[in-house]
A and B are shown apart, each in its own frame.
Chain A
Amino acid sequence: MNIIERLNDMLPYVRIGDGFQTGVDWSRTNLSALFDGIAATVDALVDPLVELLTAPPAIVMVLIFAGLGWWLRGWKFGLGTALGLGLVAGMPIWNQTMSTLALVLVSSGLALLLAIPLGIVISESRRASAIVRPVLDLMQTMPAFVYLIPAIFFFGVGVVPGALATVVFSMPPGVRLTELGLRQVDREVVEAGEAFGASPWKILLRTKLPLALPTIMTGVNQVIMLALSMVVIAGMVGAGGLGEVITTALFRAQVGAGFEGGVAVVILAVVLDRLTDSIGARTASAKAQRAMQEA
């Protein structure tokens, strides 16, 4: 027993949190220009988008979304969209929903801007993949709230920390599915490109990416869904939108208001999910895959 106790005493006192804190402190003092730039960029993207989405009367926007749904998926979905978003507009939390939508679009756009090129890089190199994969695991399994802490630390309270925490949280499936899609491209088809003297760029752009597109679009869909789930959490740091509706309801114990916010999130999620899904299904290689299944 004595030995075990001694061994236990021998465990070193490790505070990796201290190290992280030091790193964050250092970054804040030395990289403030960078963070200011990032903050300005995010603001410059989110604010006009919110204005654009909230400028027309709610009913006009509802009809625009319904029309989009009709065009991409058929009249049933168009009707569903009109009813769902009409409900949101009637609650009335329309402006909050639109600012959440803007935040989702900007953060998932930024996430994809990072995720897709990174996915391309790690699909080409096993070594890069071996390095990036555990980092992605970490990003995905780390509790979402944890991102908020350094984000507030760097950017203060507001839209920007919410958006950036969302980018980090929602990026991994975009990277993974891009890599998967590219790796799944038939080896022989790529080889054919090489055999006919096509350059690696040409093979990537004209062969690999088009063929990987359905899988990449699944990644896009996943990124948007994760971003939406994170945006609500980001409401806690003052990112506004539906997140604010829900957190306010939570702190004030307003069951009804919380439920309304929740329903709005669900409706937004369904609309976004179905719309991005049908964009993926309209790509040429998705059509080719369907033709293969029918044959």
Chain B
Amino acid sequence: METVSALRVKSLYKVYGNRADKAAEILRNSADGDEKLADLSVTAAVVDANFEVRRGEIFVVMGLSGSGKSTLIRMLNGLLPPTHGTVEVDGIDITKLKPAALRKLRREKISMVFQHFALQPHRSVLDNAGYALEVAGLPRAERREKALQALRMVGLDGWADKLPQELSGGMRQRVGLARALAAGTEIMLMDEAFSALDPLIRREVQDQLLELQAELGKTIVFITHDLNEAMRLGDRIAVMRAGRIVQIGTAEEILTDPSNDYVAQFVADVDRTRILTASAVMERPLGVVDVNSGPRVAARVLRETQTSAVYITGRDKRYLGTVTADAATQAVREGRKNLQEIVSTEYARTVADTTPVADIFAPCAESPAPVAVVDAAGRLAGVIPRVTLLSALGSISPDVSESTTTPEPTGTADPAPTNDAAQTSDAIPASDDVGTASTGSGPAATPEVPAQVVAEPSARMTGGPA
């Protein structure tokens, strides 16, 4: 990563009205500027925006309509001149550029995707995809080749000779995307790019964008009013309200630590189980024993912590598995010294710390002891007892109360993993493959109740299960 960020916005203001300059000055210099503006009959669309967009990230600006996000994005490529402040693209302050230089910069560095696609209806899909290249003055053959390549990327190469009107909405927006891709700019601005699409199609093009992004690593500024979309796409999210950016952070930061009531309210109805990861809900494990310390230590820790199993770590704190109370006492009785021999990976399932909460329910239900959470290096990061998962869900969605009043099969609402190993292993057959469990992809093994708990809010929030 280079030191210069792709985009840097400093104290940016956009005020509409005859006395915009004066209004911007008032806003800059006084804390209660908003009240003073009432006399000036001006509209402050963007107030004191400050942020940087790093190379290769998707930076989402989220806010309701009228929050100034469309005005903001139009200042990033100079379509709208700011009332005050600077916008730097690759370290160049575009607010100081002359029109011709600004056009050159747009051709070379910033492309844009529009809410209503903004395709030229009188020209073919291919001509539309190659529009940026035509503007840049590329010869026809070269333009054609690059445009076709971009259409291929979005899966529309068979439609090159059609008119945009002959395509569905989702396909038209893919042409819009191809046009921006063909431009070959590092930065792409996407203004409510998917908002005009049906939910299912929206999801499809979101996936496509994420795939393309993984491949191409563009710097993307994405505007949306849809929180789920913001959470799905954004590496970082800026929440806007009434022209001000109220919080910038990752999806998780915004969910778990909203900077004010507005953000909190905004994020209240998002499907958090898809956003929050294991690391956000995990707890510190009660009993952790080094593999070299022996069965006696394990038995003592088990007694002290009143748990059914301790978590065993090896060199560099790498997670190895669990030792149950039964196994430890038996080993002590038999006088064995090596803890390694009795470590089991069956008693507690393992998930990665980046696993979405929605995918932890199955392993959690199958695991007699709290699920072990490991980080990328394989170290034990924490554990998730069932009760923690359920209470995290409770704080996530107000609708969970409905699910908890329904009759539950044994085990799911048990406050702590039971120390009766025999009973649990009867109720839930232990899997011999921890590897698959850790990815959380075992729909057949998913017990009914937790599945409903997941499925219900996600169906409501995203319009259908993933």
CA distance A189 to B112 in the complex (A): 12
A188-B115, A196-B112, A211-B122 given; A295·B166 CB < 8 A: yes
**Inter-chain contacts of B135 with A (CB < 8 A):** 193, 196-198, 202
Find the residue from A189, A193, A210 having the highest chain B CB count within 10 A.
A189
A196-B131, A207-B120 given; A291·B163 CB < 8 A: yes
CB of B194 within 8 Å of the partner chain: no
Task: Tell me whether A195 and B106 are in contact (CB under 8 A).
Answer: yes
CB of B121 within 8 Å of the partner chain: yes
CA distance A211 to B189 in the complex (A): 25
A-B contact count (CB 8 A): 82
Closest approach, in angstroms, between the C-beta of B152 and any C-beta of chain A?
20
Closest approach, in angstroms, between the C-beta of A111 and any C-beta of chain B?
26
Closest approach, in angstroms, between the C-beta of A202 and any C-beta of chain B?
7
Q: In the complex, which residues 102-135 of chain B have their Cβ closer than 8 Å to any Cβ of chain A?
A: 103-108, 110-112, 114-123, 131-132, 135
Find the residue from B110, B165, B166 having the highest chain A CB count within 10 A.
B165
A188-B118, A197-B103 given; A291·B112 CB < 8 A: no
CB of A36 within 8 Å of the partner chain: no
CA distance A247 to B16 in the complex (A): 60
CA distance A90 to B149 in the complex (A): 63
**Inter-chain contacts of B132 with A (CB < 8 A):** 196-197
CA distance A211 to B122 in the complex (A): 7
**Residue of B whose beta carbon sits closest to that of A198:** B135
CB of B79 within 8 Å of the partner chain: yes
- Return the contact of B112 from the options A195, A198, A287, A292 (Cβ within 8 A): A195
**Inter-chain contacts of A188 with B (CB < 8 A):** 114-118
**Inter-chain contacts of A291 with B (CB < 8 A):** 121, 163, 165-166
**Residue of A whose beta carbon sits closest to that of B115:** A188
CB of A285 within 8 Å of the partner chain: yes
Task: Tell me whether B111 and A196 are in contact (CB under 8 A).
Answer: yes
**Inter-chain contacts of B189 with A (CB < 8 A):** 195
**Residue of A whose beta carbon sits closest to that of B128:** A192
Bin chain A's interface residue count: 20 to 34
- Return the contact of B121 from the options A193, A196, A289 (Cβ within 8 A): A289
CB of B95 within 8 Å of the partner chain: no
CB of B377 within 8 Å of the partner chain: no
CB of B136 within 8 Å of the partner chain: yes
**Interface bits B187-226 vs A (CB < 8 Å: 1, else 0):** 0010000000000000000000000000000000000000
**Inter-chain contacts of A196 with B (CB < 8 A):** 106-107, 111-112, 131-132, 135, 179, 183
Task: Tell me whether A210 and B122 are in contact (CB under 8 A).
Answer: yes
CB of A47 within 8 Å of the partner chain: no
**Interface bits B135-177 vs A (CB < 8 Å: 1, else 0):** 1100000000000000000000000000111100000000000
CA distance A170 to B165 in the complex (A): 35
**Inter-chain contacts of B103 with A (CB < 8 A):** 197-199
CA distance A295 to B165 in the complex (A): 7
Chain A: interface secondary structure? helix
Task: Tell me whether A288 and B122 are in contact (CB under 8 A).
Answer: yes
**Inter-chain contacts of B131 with A (CB < 8 A):** 192-193, 196
**Inter-chain contacts of A193 with B (CB < 8 A):** 131, 135
**Inter-chain contacts of A202 with B (CB < 8 A):** 135
Bin chain B's interface residue count: 20 to 34
CB of B367 within 8 Å of the partner chain: no
**Inter-chain contacts of B100 with A (CB < 8 A):** 199
A191-B79, A192-B114 given; A197·B136 CB < 8 A: yes
Q: In the complex, which residues 149-194 of chain A have their Cβ closer than 8 Å to any Cβ of chain B?
A: 186, 188-189, 191-194
CA distance A291 to B162 in the complex (A): 11
Task: Tell me whether A192 and B121 are in contact (CB under 8 A).
Answer: no
**Inter-chain contacts of A285 with B (CB < 8 A):** 121-122
A188-B114, A292-B165 given; A195·B79 CB < 8 A: yes
CB of B77 within 8 Å of the partner chain: yes
**Inter-chain contacts of B112 with A (CB < 8 A):** 192, 195-196
**Interface bits A254-295 vs B (CB < 8 Å: 1, else 0):** 000000000000000000000000000001110111011001
CA distance A202 to B108 in the complex (A): 17
**Inter-chain contacts of A287 with B (CB < 8 A):** 122, 163
- Return the contact of A192 from the options B107, B118, B136, B165 (Cβ within 8 A): B118
Closest approach, in angstroms, between the C-beta of B219 and any C-beta of chain A?
16
**Interface bits B225-246 vs A (CB < 8 Å: 1, else 0):** 0000000000000000000000
A192-B118, A195-B112 given; A288·B163 CB < 8 A: yes
Closest approach, in angstroms, between the C-beta of B182 and any C-beta of chain A?
10
**Inter-chain contacts of A289 with B (CB < 8 A):** 121
**Interface bits B64-101 vs A (CB < 8 Å: 1, else 0):** 00000000000001010000000000000000000010
A196-B183, A202-B135 given; A189·B165 CB < 8 A: no
Closest approach, in angstroms, between the C-beta of B184 and any C-beta of chain A?
11
**Residue of A whose beta carbon sits closest to that of B106:** A197
Find the residue from A211, A285, A291 having the highest chain B CB count within 10 A.
A291
**Residue of B whose beta carbon sits closest to that of A203:** B135
Task: Tell me whether A191 and B118 are in contact (CB under 8 A).
Answer: yes
CA distance A146 to B452 in the complex (A): 83
CA distance A285 to B121 in the complex (A): 7
CA distance A43 to B110 in the complex (A): 55
Closest approach, in angstroms, between the C-beta of B298 and any C-beta of chain A?
65
Task: Tell me whether B77 and A195 are in contact (CB under 8 A).
Answer: yes
**Inter-chain contacts of B120 with A (CB < 8 A):** 189, 192, 207, 211
**Residue of A whose beta carbon sits closest to that of B166:** A291
Closest approach, in angstroms, between the C-beta of A203 and any C-beta of chain B?
9
Q: List 6 A-B pairs, minimum CB-CB distance, nearest first.
A: A197-B107, A197-B106, A192-B118, A285-B122, A188-B118, A288-B121
Known contacts A191-B79, A198-B103, A289-B121; 8 further A-B pairs (Cβ under 8 A): A188-B118, A189-B121, A195-B189, A196-B106, A197-B105, A288-B122, A288-B165, A292-B165
6 pairs from A and B in contact (CB 8 Å cutoff) = A188-B117, A189-B119, A196-B107, A196-B135, A199-B100, A211-B120
Q: Which residues of A contact B (CB under 8 A)?
A: 186, 188-189, 191-199, 202, 207, 210-211, 283-285, 287-289, 291-292, 295
